[in-house]
Amino acid sequence: MNFPHRKMLLVVLCSLLMSALTGCSGKSDSPLYLESNRKGGEAEAPVKDVATDILSTQKAFSNVSKKVTPCVVNISTVSRKKIVQPFFEMNPFFEDFFGAPQTRRDKSLGSGFLISKDGYIVTNDHVVRDAESIQVKLSNDKVYDAKVVGGDQKSDIAVIKISAADLPAAVLGDSDKLDVGQWAIAIGNPFGLDRTMTVGVISATGRSNMGIETYENFIQTDASINPGNSGGPLLNVYGEVIGINTAIVAAGQGIGFAIPINMAKPIFSQLIQKGSVSRGYMGVTIQPVTEELAQSFGLKHTRGALVNDIIKGSPADKAGIRQGDVITALNGVEVKDPSHLQRLVAEAGIGKSVRITVFRDGKALELGLALANADSAPKRQRESGGGGQQDGGADLLGLVVEDSGQGLGVVVVETVRGGAAAEAGIRRGDLIVSINRKRIANSAEYERAISSSRNGNLTILVRRGDASIYFALRVK
């Protein structure tokens, strides 16, 4: 091809290319997407008039997040758990042949919130229980090693401390003034997702008999609470802490529970001051008032706590409370059920004089009583809801038990952290049916069995739900 032809071909190609570019530039006059004029674009928002109350609510939530999030911390722990050997550890001589049980290191996550500028943090006891090491990450991503100041397993509240200063501290609200339907805001560390905020309402207050802790008075909320939220704050629209997020119903959605902050304050105050919690003690065992019992005692309502035993020499004994009395009020507060009475007594204070209203022989009587320290109570069985309930102590295995009521063994109503039974894996709610392959029918046979095995080994058969499990442990 000669040069003139090549030149002509080049001109044609350039013309075609320019036409194509012109076509493209023509299309670019139509935007690829619509951008809001609220961001400098030309398109109007689909909804022009948003209700003022919606905008106000949205801003309120944002303000809570900005103000409170710096007070919320992420907690990561490392603990050592025993590896279960189900086919061999049942043998009481397992350690003699195979040595100490193997353990594994477990990592877990939780939440907490700062209550002081010098580094005191409130969280759940189960978040830091048995932890070998604890690390706390603040909202500025600084990480600190923490130590446990004190923990209370009965209420699931703990206090940990980091060495720092000038920290943002949360403001505590008044959980006694909550109404169902009020906004509830949760901030925490669910599944390791830092400082996640969820919003819902107060679904209910005063939830008890949930079988979660010994002392229960939960706030129920539908603000999303997930694993890792434990120990984080539940807030109102003022950004005040009204609860400590603690538990969820695994089988349901939108059912979470928080410890009321008014219930938590005296507990974490004692933990900071002395590292432990002391509670008031009456010296009675109690049970719920059923409809049948209410009718037989002449009561109009199935409320209160029926006294089925009195501990000799206890404050209740000295005050004149009798077996068969129904305790209906304490200091003018109506008693709903045994767990409610137990909580009222625990919170009343050691050495404080209280007014106890009892229903006896068809009449209401008021008696004065000075509460003692539960730590000095006689060591005998108690129950955490449903049967005989009292303040007492644990046995050689670190257990508090009660009769099953059917002559089929004893029910574990409490385990002591670090006790032989808890270390072996026995839990609250387990039914102990045999010891050293001998059936036990009641607490008396149980006590004889463990007493005769002092400084020896025990093989304990437990019923847990539909399963039977053997546990081997050593009595010291």
Strand partners, 186: 198, 234
Active-site position among 111, 155, 208, 230: 230
Strand partners, 122: 113, 159
Residue 379 and residue 377: Cα distance in Å, rounded?
6
DSSP state of 212: S
Angle of helix 338-348 versus helix 261-274 axis, rounded to 10: 40
Q: What are phi and psi of 152, to 5 degrees?
A: -125, 105
- What is the maximum span of the chain, computed from C-alpha positions, in angstroms? 128
Q: Are strands 120-123 and 103-114 parallel, antiparallel or unpaired?
A: antiparallel
Instruction: Please give the structure tokens belonging to residue 153.
Output: 């397993």
Active-site position among 76, 126, 152, 384: 126
The residues near 33 (Cβ < 8 Å, ≥ 6 apart) are: none
Which contacts (CB < 8 Å, 24+ apart) does range 190-196 have? 190/224, 190/225, 190/226, 190/227, 190/228, 190/229, 191/109, 191/226, 191/227, 191/228, 192/109, 192/228, 193/228, 194/74, 194/137, 195/69, 195/72, 195/74, 195/139, 196/229
**Known catalytic membership, residue 296:** no
**Known catalytic membership, residue 76:** no
DSSP state of 20: H
Active-site position among 125, 152, 156, 403: 156
HSE-up of 415 (CA within 13 Å, CB side)?
Answer: 17
Q: Classify residue 364 by burial, with Cβ atoms within 10 Å: 0-12, 13-18, 19+.
A: exposed
Compute the CA torsion angle 348, 350, 351, 356 (nearest 10 deg): 30
**Known catalytic membership, residue 5:** no
Q: Position 263: which residue type?
A: M
Q: Position 375: which residue type?
A: D
CB 232 within 8 A of CB 112: yes
CB 268 within 8 A of CB 244: no
Residues classed as catalytic: 126, 156, 230
